[in-house]
Structure 1
Amino acid sequence: MHKILVFGMTENPGGVESFLYNYISEIDPGEFQFDFLCNSYEKIAYEDKLAERGCKMIHFIARSKNYKKYKQEIQTFFSKHGKEYECIWVNVCSLANIDYLKYAKKYGIPKRIIHSHNSKNMDSWLRGELHQLNRFVIQKYATDFWACSEAAVSWFYRDSLKDKAKVIHNAISTERMAYDPEKSLQLREKLGLQDAYIMGNVGRLHFQKNQEFLLKIFAQAVKKMPEARLVLVGQGEDEEKLKKLAAELGIEKYIYWAGVQKDICQWLSAFDLFVFPSRFEGAPIAALEAQANGLPILTSEQAVPEACVLNGNCRRLSLEEPMEKWVDELLKMAENAKREEQAVIQQNFVDGGYDIHTEVKKIEKLLCC
């Protein structure tokens, strides 16, 4: 039994959390034991499902809330239990905090993986500066260097480490995310949107995800398509700002703010079109899940690289294009674009290297060696 300590799960079921859950759900629990370091006393995303697979959650206080207590709790855990693990797998969007790797090295965990999940700084200026400083020392504490994309490799690692870095695809279970007409009908009836054309977005309400732009193009589109509705799944620091913008644009009655949701497949199944105008992404899990569901997608080129366009009903536009072009494409796709067939989706994911059943075999080997 390989015992792996994992960091990267939070309370919010976002991209990193989905990535970890997707892979760990497919890895043989008879061969691997995964325990999770959780920097919150609250339940993490997928905690109940992970516990059913035998995973253990180690909850501690966040560094930002009580630094002294955080250090004490981390020190105590690693000093007592560090040598029980053969590997620590740290999944982060920046190198601002590498304490877990430092303690892992100090207390004898031999394999120490740092895994990059973003391609730009999405935190404060200070955390951005800490990230840049830690790029110079990360090789002292990590033994293995992973990233979700080539862009994430370039941002995370200095040139001396780039040749050592391994790109791990954010693979998806197409079966788990497959379109479910029954779930779609149930949710649309619950929302009172049986006859609406639903444009949807899944992601943290944050500058990176660019929902401000989405509201602006939707405000233009709904003038020509009054049956359209916009559903935003997620929470974040920009929520009040976005709601204020929606009021200014006069589109509040056309928007449903869904907040954090657990059954993303159901929400995707209820959508007619997925709109994804992110300014940047490490690897676009939300767009991959939408493709696994078969949804037509209008995305920014900055969010989804060509290699992640797996289905024929995914259209990319640059954010540098005029807003009018986005509105025209949105209306054109609403009129013509259809869901992809499940058999086609499955083959597309295998061919593209994003099928979880294929990719999980690779990660099992990397965790062991």
Structure 2
Amino acid sequence: MTKKKVLHIINLGMNGKAVFLCNVLEQTNFSKYDITILNFWGKTAALIAKRLEGLPIRIVVNRRKCGFMAFLSELKQLLKTEKFDVVHSHMWDLTGIFLGYAKWYGVPVRVAHRHNSQKVAGRYNPIKEFIRDKVVWNILKKAIELNANRYFACSNLAVNWLYTSKVANRGGRNYKQ
């Protein structure tokens, strides 16, 4: 039996997403899956690294300078050289962009996974915040809808916040309350 090749895109800092992924991987049957993690920030929290070190997984860090464009270059290189069966993105708004690359490179299963039920607070001036909230977020949500073909969320609030109603109601499953 051929193993399914799975790529997780995540920030392995000390956060709930990383802990969630550790919990999943600790219960994974590795005779069926070949797991690669692409770490968005290039640094892994010590406690997370300790939990992952005994598992038969590969962690790829952004070897180039930190930054979004460098990460995209790393992602494209991975998708070109590996033939993943699944790409699972845990990166909220950027998920649509990452899964767009996965779609371009022929990955059949592209998972968008939302862990939060609201945007991450930042220090923005009112004009930047308006542009981000009214323009950028809507474009990024549309990119998720266009590029993902599987959708997960940790709560109904998370579904309602990130996914459009078209996605939330797809497949006869009504995630809205």
Alpha carbons of 1:138 and 1:43: their partners in 2 closer, same or farther (altered >3 Å)? closer
1:151-189 Cα distance to aligned partner (Å, 9 max, x none):
11111111111123879xxxxxxxxxxxxxxxxxxxxxx
Counterpart position of 1:87: 86
Compute the TM-score of the two structures, normalised by the length of structure 2. 0.78
- Please give the alpha-carbon distance, in whole angstroms, between the structure 2 residues aligned to 1:61 and 1:148: 31
Contact 2:96 2:146 in 1 (8 A): no
Compute the TM-score of the two structures, normalised by the length of structure 1. 0.40
Higher Cα radius of gyration:
1
Contact 1:95 1:132 in 2 (8 A): no
Contact 1:36 1:56 in 2 (8 A): yes
- Please give the alpha-carbon distance, in whole angstroms, between the structure 2 residues aligned to 1:136 and 1:61: 30
Give the Å deviation of 1:17.
1.0
Amino acid paired to 2:70: K
Contact 1:96 1:130 in 2 (8 A): no
Contact 1:104 1:112 in 2 (8 A): yes
Counterpart position of 2:164: 158
> Which blocks of at least 5 consecutive residues in structure 1 are unaligned?
168-369
- Please give the alpha-carbon distance, in whole angstroms, between the structure 2 residues aligned to 1:62 and 1:158: 34
Amino acid paired to 2:96: I
Matches within 5 A, 1:228-239: none
User: How much is the aligned-residue C-alpha RMSD, in angstroms?
Assistant: 2.6
Matches within 5 A, 1:244-263: none
Alpha carbons of 1:75 and 1:21: their partners in 2 closer, same or farther (altered >3 Å)? same
Give the Å deviation of 1:25.
0.6
Count of residues in correspondence between the two structures: 162
Amino acid paired to 2:164: R
Contact 2:115 2:158 in 1 (8 A): yes
SS of aligned partner of 1:122:
coil
> Which blocks of at least 5 consecutive residues in structure 2 are unaligned?
123-128
Give the Å deviation of 1:145.
0.9
SS of aligned partner of 2:142:
coil
Contact 1:10 1:39 in 2 (8 A): yes
Matches within 5 A, 1:164-179: 164=170
Counterpart position of 1:32: 33
Alpha carbons of 1:21 and 1:153: their partners in 2 closer, same or farther (altered >3 Å)? same
Counterpart position of 2:126: none
Contact 1:39 1:62 in 2 (8 A): no
SS of aligned partner of 2:41:
coil
Alpha carbons of 1:158 and 1:61: their partners in 2 closer, same or farther (altered >3 Å)? farther
Give the Å deviation of 1:72.
2.7
**Matched-pair identity in %:** 20
Contact 1:96 1:127 in 2 (8 A): no
- Please give the alpha-carbon distance, in whole angstroms, between the structure 1 residues aligned to 2:41 and 2:149: 27
